[in-house]
Structure formats: C-alpha cells, structure tokens
Amino acid sequence: MPKRYPPEQLFDFTVAVFRHFEVPTEDARLAATVLQSADLRGIDSHGVARLASYADFLGRGRINPRPNISVVRESPSTATVDGDNGLGLVVGPKANEIAMDKAASAGSGWVSVRNTNHYGIAGWYVLEALKRDLIGWSMTNTTKFVAPLWGARRMLGTNPIAIAFPADREPPIVIDMATSAVAYGKIEIALRAEKPIPEGWAIDARGEPTTDPAAMIEGGAMLPLGSDRERGGHKGYALAVMVDVLSAVLSGANWGPFAPPFALRQEIPTRSVGKGIGHFFGALRIDAFIDKDEFKRQIDDLIRTLRTTRPAPGTSGPLIPGDPERAAEAIRRREGIPLVGPVIEELHDISRQTGIPL
Amino acid sequence: MPKRYPPEQLFDFTVAVFRHFEVPTEDARLAATVLQSADLRGIDSHGVARLASYADFLGRGRINPRPNISVVRESPSTATVDGDNGLGLVVGPKANEIAMDKAASAGSGWVSVRNTNHYGIAGWYVLEALKRDLIGWSMTNTTKFVAPLWGARRMLGTNPIAIAFPADREPPIVIDMATSAVAYGKIEIALRAEKPIPEGWAIDARGEPTTDPAAMIEGGAMLPLGSDRERGGHKGYALAVMVDVLSAVLSGANWGPFAPPFALRQEIPTRSVGKGIGHFFGALRIDAFIDKDEFKRQIDDLIRTLRTTRPAPGTSGPLIPGDPERAAEAIRRREGIPLVGPVIEELHDISRQTGIPL
C-alpha cells in the first residue's frame, strides 16, 4: 500500500536536496515546482520518484547545478537556447519563458533547446502558457526506448508532446502524451505485479511482439503509438521523429539513439552527435488570430459538445484531455501524494546521503 | 483492374473542368496541381477521385470559384485568413504562402484559415515549404468520421497533420498522417472486396467494436489512432482535437461535428458555429535556429541511422516517413496514374456534363 505525504513536505525536501547539490535557491524552488507538478497530476514516474536520478547526476558532476543558460541564435519569433548542461527542470522553464515573451511581441514564439537534461512532465510548460492566456506547446526527446515501426531495436525516446488551449468557464484542454503506445512506467508496474502486458505495447530482443514485460525490459523495445502497421504504428513512429528533430536536430542536441540516458544504470550511447538532450517550446498569442474571448467561448462550446457524445457501451463517455490529471490533482492536494515503498526507500537513502531530514 | 492514365491528360482535364465552373485559369492550374499531387503520391482517395465532389459543389454554388481571399488579422509571425468560401485547393496554397513569407521575415509563420473547403492532401503544402528550405506544417479539420475515445458517435474529422524536414543528400522526411487509426478509403476498399477490417479501426452504430466495414459506414464511426484505451486511443483523439482547435476554433471556422461535409450525400450539420472548415499552416526558418547546412547534414545522419536499425522479423526494416509516397510517385510519373472503374465512370460523367473531352 502506498503511503501519502503532504505535498509541502516533499516540496521542501526536494528544494533542500537540490540546494545541497549547489543549485541556487531560486532554481531549486523552480525545479521542485516542476517535479512536484508530476506528483500532483498523477504522473508518478516523473515526480519525486526521479529525485534519486537528479541527485545521482548532480552528485557525480554530470549535471551543472549553476548553468549559464544562453540564447545562441534568435529571430523575432524564434530562439535557440544552450542550457549549459543544467537541470532540465531549470533550463526548460527559462526557455519556455523566452517562447512566451516572443509570442507577446511577435504573435508566436518557438524555442529549441540543446545541452539540457530531463525536464519533468511536458504538461507543466503548457500550463504556464495558460497562465498568460497563450496556447502553449512543449516537446522533448528522451533516452531511447522505442523501436521505429519494423525495427527490432530501441532507436527513439518516448518523445512526448504537450499542448494546451484555454477555455472560459470550462477547465482548459491540456494534452500531454508520449508518442509511444504506452508509458514505460506501465511496463514496470506489470513486471512488479507479474502480469502480462497487452499486445501492441512491446517487442522482445528479437523484435517479435511480446506480452512479457521482462522481455521488453531486457533488451526489447517499446512500440510507437498505433503499435503495428495495420493500426498506424508508422504514425506514432513519425510523431516521435518529429519531436526528435524539433527538439534535438534543430537545437544541436543528441538525437535518436544518441540521446544520453537519465539513469546511472543505462548505457552511455556510442556516439555523441550534439550536446545533451533537446526540448522544443512554442507559444501562440490567441488575439494574434482571433478575439480572445470569442476563442474561449468556442472552446467551452467544443468541450461541452464533446462531453455530450453518446457514451460507448460500458463507458461513461469521452473525457476531455486533461480531465484525469485534474482529477488526480484535486485528490492529491487534499489527501497527499501517495508514494510506494521503493520510492520512499530511495528518499530515505537521499536523506541519509545528504543529511537532510525527510 | 485499374487503367493507367498519363498525368498530363488528367491534369489538363482537371484544369478544364475547374475553368468550366468559372475558376480563373491560374487558380484552376494551382488546384489541379494540388489535386494531382495526391494521385502521383499514391493517395488515391484525395486526387482526381474527388473531382466529382468539387464539380458538384462548384456547380451548385456551394463553393465560390472567384473568392476574395483576405487576411483578417495578423501579427509579425501570424495571420488569420478568410477564404471567402473558395476551393481549399486555392485558398490553402495562398495561406501557406503567407506562412512561408512570415517565416522569411520573422523566423516563423503561422496561419489559421476559415471559410475554406477541402484542401487536398496535407502533404502538398509541406513539400512547398521544402522548396524554400523551410520546415513546413499543415493541418486541416474535416467532416466528422471519428469517434472520441469512449464515444459512440462521429464527432471529429480524420484531421491530418503533415510536417516536413529537408535533408542534404538524402530525400527529405515528409510526415503526412491522419489522426485516425486508418484512412476511410481503406474501409471502403474492404467493403467493396467483402472483407473484414482489422480490430481497432471502427465501431458500429451502437459504439461496439466491429470488423464489418458496412457496420462502420452505416452509422458507425472510425476510431482514433491508438484505437482503444489500452493502446493509446486517447492520444489519437487528443491529436484530432488539437488539429480541430488550431484549424477551426483559432480561425473562426466550424469545428468538431459541425464541420460541413464534402459530398452531396452527407448530411448537413445541425448547427453552424463558424465559417466553412479550417486549415492551419506553419513554417520555420531553419537558420533562425541553427546553421542550415549543419541541420541538413544531421538529418541525413538521422535518416541513415534509422535505416540501419536491425529489421523486425519478416520486414525489411524501418522506412523513413515519405518513402512510400516517393516510391509511388516514381512509378506513376513513369507508368501513369491508375484509376479504378468507378472513378473513370465519374470522370466520363463530368465530361458529358461539361462537354470537356477526357
């Protein structure tokens, strides 16, 4: 059974851990905010469960705690940012700010980022855009996990895409999705529960479809959204390539199978083709296209229209993208963030190592 | 057996038909070019097979042959275009030009279009961007065909996304994909062949999964990319919503189930929430982010790296997005465009109706 922790307690611990590793206070608070948004929104794999990896990398000097984040090229509506190998949780928010500022002046802003690291959940960045009434976009490439359709090897990351649209009286539409058929966390959960995984999630080391989570984890690969040729696996693969190019090729980061890993146990790629991993942020100013209030009223109408769709048998009808995360956040802000045993143990390890009480 | 026609013959016929319906010569040639690109690239459902629909709509005054296409709002990097109910095959290219021109001056250009009609294949527009060494984006909403995940009704179009990246010595990466699990044309083909369709493509009128193509066509719906909850159907649904908002809500066009149909036999939506359907175009200037030659060399490297992926058993290994269409075009330019009996009959009908010899 998971044990629940007050969000504030985990936040303060996270800030203190980042500070212990020489991250400046303001950056530590920013990084903890991004990290905690994953725990609050129910994306457990991207929250405090990753703190040990961040601490490992900071402790070994593989992440720069005090980066000099710089704009290396820009135009009125675009910029390329070099994150100086800082925490993605700090580089990402600062690059996203640049995209939003460009949108304010030029109608849209697009920022490709190199020399950065794992940036948390893609969704956090587009929620920031919503605070400014912008349409926000966020993508990142990640360590290889996914096979291209018809490939037998991991070549691409789970490369998520997030985009959000503000509404008026309804909650916003918030899309945040990996371009793989499923999140890696679900395969790990099946392994621990000793249960098979559905067809369409993974292949084994020979490239054959598998329902054995261990066969994926031990040298197999995840499948792209769509899973196989018949059901559109070439489309999920194409989306992963798109994210890879916008985030990494356009910025000068490591793309495809050469994206560096974010766990000490993962192998270091054989080649370096750029700096760090890459992100891509975008922002569109709504009133550069249409009256903002009119847009929001139409989004309300679209949301209500979709909610009235006749439900498929055995379901309560379509959700709006963002509904599940919003529901998780309402519960977790009230009842605390549930952590499973192995994560709690990791936090205690960090506590012992740093002397910071949990 | 399909019969093959020289591309030039079909092109000249198409131009003459558009001209017959009062489309100015230059626009008729542009429209025929876009339409023919589908036939050349092997997307048979979007080429001359649609000419009868365009002729029907022009003949009944439901499409304006001489639109006054106007920019109704703009910023340095964005614009909203009103297509004056013109042919999407003419409005789309002109709006795409505006996006590309904005990219030249502001680093990026983004154009949302309302009051327009079916614009052919999404991929044509991004191929135009490649001619200018830009990264091109193209999306459009379409008549409802697809159910939201957990819905039992058609609420969204097949809402395609296209994006292209130029390479140096390799052919470019050209992504062009509907956000549904499969193209509607494949369901029609199964119906004609009296064959079942794979699971994950469609639901019947009650919202139950079906493998009967007739059950989808007669009141059922197509499924989004990912098909079901387990395999990520919520992701394809979210992408369809994204395309709908960028193309239609942002421009002031009809969104979701209210997008007008593009065939006389399809029902007219019960509500109008905007003007016509909507498109969304984007262009990014590569050297606004990174040295252009460096980018293209890296794309070459990425393409070659993906091609060397160990093949999955029974396959010849991963393709690069755009490969199948390029292969089709090479054959069809040489051997002609294959048309099936019903399409040839339709063209003869148009010929009789307009007096234009095929």
Is the pLDDT at A1 greater than 80? The verdict is no
Q: Mean pLDDT across the stretch B269-297?
A: 97
Task: Please give the pLDDT value at position A327.
Answer: 98
Query: Nearest-CA neighbor of A223 among A196, A201, A199?
Result: A201
B155 touches chain A (CB under 8 A): yes
What average pLDDT does the segment A169-185 reach? 96
Does A205 contact B at CB distance below 8 Å? no
For residue A261, the model assigns a pLDDT of 93
Give the whole-number percent of chain B exceeding pLDDT 70.
100
Between CA B52 and CA B62, with CA B57 as vertex, the angle to 5 degrees is: 175
Return residues 253-312 of B near A (CB < 8 Å).
255-257, 273-274, 284-286, 288-290, 294-295, 298-299, 301-302, 305-306, 309-312
Q: How many CB pairs under 8 A join A and B?
A: 296
Q: Do A108 and B77 touch (CB under 8 A)?
A: yes
Average pLDDT over residues B100-129: 98
Mean pLDDT computed over every residue of chain A: 97
Output DSSP code: residue A356: -
DSSP 8-class letter at A24: -
C-alpha distances (whole Å) from A134 to each of A164, A243, A283, A284, B164 are: 8, 21, 6, 6, 25
Residue B13 confidence (pLDDT): 98
> For position A335, what pLDDT does the model report?
97
Please give, one letter per residue, the 3-state secondary structure of chain B: CCEEECHHHHHHHHHHHHHHCCCCHHHHHHHHHHHHHHHHCCCHHHCHHHHHHHHHHHHCCCCCCCCCCEEEEEECCEEEEECCCCCHHHHHHHHHHHHHHHHHHHCEEEEEEEEECCCCCHHHHHHHHHHCCEEEEEEECCCCCECCCCECCCCECCCCEEEEECCCCCCCEEEEECCECCCHHHHHHHHHHCCCCCCCCEECCCCCEECCHHHHHCCCEECECCCCCCCCHHHHHHHHHHHHHHHHHCCCCCCHHHCCCCCCCCCCCCCCCCCCEEEEEEEEEHHHCCCHHHHHHHHHHHHHHHHCCCECCCCCCCCCCCHHHHHHHHHHHHHCEEECHHHHHHHHHHHHHHCCCC
Residue A192 has a pLDDT of 87
Q: Does B205 touch chain A (CB under 8 A)?
A: no
Scan residues 11-70 of A and list those with Cβ closer than 8 Å to B: none
Average pLDDT, integer, range B69-86: 98
Q: Which residue of A has its CA nearest to B280?
A: A289
Please report the ipTM that was assigned to this predicted complex.
Answer: 0.98
| A289–B235 CB contact, under 8 Å | no
Instruction: Return the pLDDT at A264.
Output: 83
**What average pLDDT does this structure show over A135-156?**
98
Place A61 in a pLDDT band, splitting at 50, 70 and 90: very high
Say if residue A273's pLDDT is above 80: yes
Mean pLDDT value across residues A250-256: 98
- The reply to whether residue B80 touches residue A290, judged by beta carbons under 8 angstroms, is yes
| Residue A15 CB contacts under 8 Å (≥ 6 apart), including other chains | A25, A28, A29, A32
Enumerate residues 6+ apart whose C-beta is below 8 A from B125: B92, B93, B96, B119, B136, B138, B162, B281
Each residue's pLDDT tens digit, A314-344: 999 999 999 999 999 999 999 999 999 999 9
At A263 the pLDDT is: 84
Q: What is the pLDDT of residues A94-138, one digit of tens each?
A: 999 999 999 999 999 999 999 999 999 999 999 999 999 999 999
Across the interface, do A290 and B77 touch by the CB < 8 Å criterion? no
**Are the CB atoms for B108 and A110 separated by under 8 Å?**
yes
B175 and A242 in contact by Cβ < 8 A? yes
Predicted local confidence at residue B231, as pLDDT: 97
Q: Is the pLDDT of residue B308 over 90?
A: yes
- Exposed / middle / buried, residue A272 (Cβ in 10 Å: 0-12, 13-18, 19+): exposed
Using pLDDT thresholds of 50, 70 and 90, give the confidence band for residue B1: confident
What is residue B265's predicted lDDT score, i.e. its pLDDT? 83
Residue B118 has pLDDT above 90, yes or no: yes
Predicted confidence at residue B266, as pLDDT, reads: 84
Task: Pick from A231, A273, A300 the residue to mutate for testing the B interface (most B CBs within 10 Å).
Answer: A231
Q: What is the pLDDT of residue B260?
A: 96
Q: How much is the pTM?
A: 0.98
Q: pLDDT at position B218, please?
A: 95
- At residue A116, the 3 state secondary structure works out as strand
pLDDT tens track for B2-31: 899 999 999 999 999 999 999 999 999 999
Kindly state whether B182 is in contact with chain A, defined as any CB-CB distance less than 8 angstroms.
Answer: yes
Nearest-CB residue to B312 (from A150, A242, A306): A150
Chain B interface includes A5 (CB < 8 A): no
Q: What is the mean pLDDT of residues B35-42?
A: 97
Of the partner residues A74, A110, A235, the one whose CB lies closest to the CB of residue B225:
A235
Given a cut of 90, is residue A265 above it in pLDDT?
Answer: no
Dump pLDDT digits (tens) for B135-193.
999 999 999 999 999 999 999 999 999 999 999 999 999 999 999 999 898 998 899 88
Residues 86-145 of B with CB under 8 A from A: 105-108, 110, 112, 135
B346 pLDDT tier (thresholds 50, 70, 90): very high
Tens of pLDDT, residue by residue over A186-222, are: 998 899 889 999 999 999 999 999 999 999 999 999 9
